[in-house]
A and B are shown apart, each in its own frame.
Chain A
Amino acid sequence: MTLQDYLSVLAVVLIVLGFLGFAIKSDFLRRIIAFNVMSTGALLLLAAFVQDVESTPMLTSVFMMLILVTMVLTILTLQIRNKLTSRFHQHDSEGKVDSENPR
C-alpha cells in the first residue's frame, strides 16, 4: 500500500467513527467532537485524494478555508449552547436537545 492508500483508509475510518459518534451519542459535547473528527477525516480524504494535482497553492487555500469553516461552525454551536444553558438554567434536560431527531 502506498501512502495515499493509508491516508484514505485512515480518513474513511475517521469519518465512520465520527458519524457513529454523532449517531449514537446524544451528549452535546461528544457530538461536537464527533463532528470535528468527521471533518478532520474529510480533510484527510482531500489530502489523500488530491495529492497529484499540480494546483498546490489553490489546494492550500481550500484547506485553510475548510478548516476555518469548521472552526467557525464549532465556535458558533458552542456559543449558542452556552447562551442556552447559562441564561435559561435548564442543565439537565438540555443534553438531549438534538436527540429528538434520530437519524
Chain B
Amino acid sequence: MALLAAFQIHHYFAHQLDLQKRIWWRFWLILLGLTLVWSAGDLITLYVAMEIVALGVVGLIALGDQAESYRSALRYLKAVLLGTLSFLIGSIIIWGVYGTVSLSALQQQIEGTGLTGLAFALITVGLVYRAALFPLHSWLPPAHGSSHAPLSALLSALVTKASFYSLARVWLDWGDLIGSELLAQLLGILGALAIVWGGWMACRQSELKMLVAYSSVNQVGYFFLFFPLIIGVSHEVAVLAKQGVILQVISHALAKAALFMAAGNLVAAMGSKYIADLSGMSRSMPLSLLSFGFAGVSIMGLPPSGGFLAKWYVLQASLLSGQWWWIPVLILGGLLSAAYIFRIFSRSFLEECSVKPIKPVPKILEIAPMVLALLAVGLGLLASTPLSLMTIAMVVTDGHE
C-alpha cells in the first residue's frame, strides 16, 4: 500500500521536483511512526510513535501551501495535542498504579478499580479523538480534503488506522478485565452515529474530495461497531467480530486510497474540484472512473468485495450476540454509501457536457488507483490470505505474552 502511494506521489509531483523533495522526509517519518506503532510494546512508546506520525502528517497537510491547508493543519494539530495528551495522562496514571507500562505485563495485573477506569477512559477518549470518531471527527474532512490527492490517500488509508489499532489493542487486552460494557456500547453507538452522519454529509458535499473525506468518517464508524461485539460476548462472536474488523480495516485502506487517487486524477483532469463539473468525464477519463467505481463497490459493501465480507462478519457477530440494533445501522450505512458513490456516477455519465478543456492526465497516474481498487474488490475472494496472516501475527503476540 505504501509502495503504491510512493509510486503515485512520485508521478503526481513529477513536475514539481522542489515540492517532491519536501514530501519525502515527511513520508518516511510517517512510515517510521507507523512501524513503531505496530511494534510498540508499551504505552509510552505508543505515545511517542503516534506523535512521530502526527509530525509527518501535519507537514503533509501544510504542504498544500494555501490558507486553507494551514488552517486544516492547525485543526489537526489541535486534535493531536488534546488527544495524545489525554492518552499520555491516562498512561501515566496506569504507570503510577501498576508500576509498569508494558502492555503484556499490564494484561496480567490490571483490574477494575476507579483510578484504572479513569485512566482507561482518558486513553479511550484520546485515541477516539485521533481516530476521528463521530462527535470528534470535525478535523478530518478539511485535513484530508485540502491536501494533495496522493497524500490524502496515505493519510486516510494508514494514519487513522494507527490510532484505531492502538485503541483495539488496549481494549482487547484490558476490555474484559475492566468490564466496561457500557463504554463499549457507547463507542458502538458513536460508531453508528458516525456511519449515518458521515454518509449523510458525504451525500451533501459539493466538492469531490470532500465527499471522499466524509466517506472516511462514515467508514471509520464501522470500525467502532467492533467494541460492543468483543466485550462481554462469547468467544465465537468475538472471533467473528475480530475477523470482520480486520477485513474492514484492510479493505477500507485499499478502497479509500483508490478513491482519493482516482478523485485526484479526475480533479486534475477537469481542473475543478466540484462534483457538478464531472459531467462528461466518463468519456475522457474512463479508467479513473472505473477504479473509482471498483473502490466504491467495496465501500458500499457489495459482494464479492472485501467490504462486503467485512460487513457480513460484523452482521453475523451482532446476530449471534443478540445485539440486533446494529443491523439497521449496517443497512442504512450501506444505502447511504451507495447514494454518495452513485451521485458521482450519475453526474459523470451526463452527456450534455458543456465543452471544457480537459487536461490529459498521464496514463501512469491511473495505474495505482486501479491496482488498489482491484485489490479491494478481490479481497473478498482472497480473504483467507490476509486473515491467516493476521492469525499468525496474533498467535505470535500471544506467544510473547
- Interface segment out of the listed B76-84, B262-270, B370-378: B76-84
Q: Is the CB of B92 within 8 A of A46?
A: yes
Q: Is the CB of A42 within 8 A of B51?
A: no
* B62 located at the interface, meaning its Cβ lies under 8 Å from any Cβ of chain A in the complex: yes
Residues of A within 8 A of B (CB): 15, 22, 31, 35, 38-39, 42, 45-46, 48-50, 53, 62, 65-66, 69, 72-73, 76-77, 80-81, 83-84, 87-88, 90, 94, 97-98, 100-101, 103
Question: A101 touches which one: B55, B58, B92, B139 (CB < 8 A)?
Answer: B139
Q: Is the CB of B89 within 8 A of A76?
A: no
Q: Is the CB of B85 within 8 A of A90?
A: no
Q: Is the CB of A42 within 8 A of B85?
A: yes
Q: How many A-B pairs fall under 8 Å by CB? A: 84
Task: Name B76's closest neighbour in chain A (CB-CB).
Answer: A80
Q: How far is the CB of A94 from chain B (nearest CB, A)?
A: 8
Q: Is the CB of A76 within 8 A of B95?
A: no
Count of chain B residues with Cβ under 8 Å from any Cβ of A? 31
Q: How far is the CB of A95 from chain B (nearest CB, A)?
A: 12
* B184 located at the interface, meaning its Cβ lies under 8 Å from any Cβ of chain A in the complex: no
Q: Is the CB of B96 within 8 A of A45?
A: yes
* Dominant secondary structure at the B interface: helix
Query: Which residues 340-385 of B sit at the A interface, judged by CB distance below 8 A?
Result: none
Which of chain A's residues have a CB closer than 8 A to the CB of B78?
Answer: 31, 98, 101
Which of chain A's residues have a CB closer than 8 A to the CB of B48?
Answer: 65, 69
Q: Is the CB of B74 within 8 A of A80?
A: yes
Residue of B47, B71, B136 contacting most chain A CB atoms (<10 Å): B71
Task: Name A44's closest neighbour in chain B (CB-CB).
Answer: B92
Which of chain A's residues have a CB closer than 8 A to the CB of B58?
Answer: 76, 80
Task: Name A53's closest neighbour in chain B (CB-CB).
Answer: B99
Residue of A49, A65, A80, A98 contacting most chain B CB atoms (<10 Å): A80
Bound form: Cα–Cα A46–B43 in Å: 13
Known: A46-B92, A49-B92, A53-B99. A80 touches B85 (CB 8 A): no
Which of chain B's residues have a CB closer than 8 A to the CB of A48?
Answer: 96
Which of chain B's residues have a CB closer than 8 A to the CB of A31?
Answer: 78
Task: Name B90's closest neighbour in chain A (CB-CB).
Answer: A42
Task: Name A4's closest neighbour in chain B (CB-CB).
Answer: B96
Residue of B71, B80, B92, B93 contacting most chain A CB atoms (<10 Å): B92
Bound form: Cα–Cα A76–B51 in Å: 12
Query: Which residues 91-141 of B sit at the A interface, judged by CB distance below 8 A?
Result: 92-93, 95-97, 99, 136, 138-139
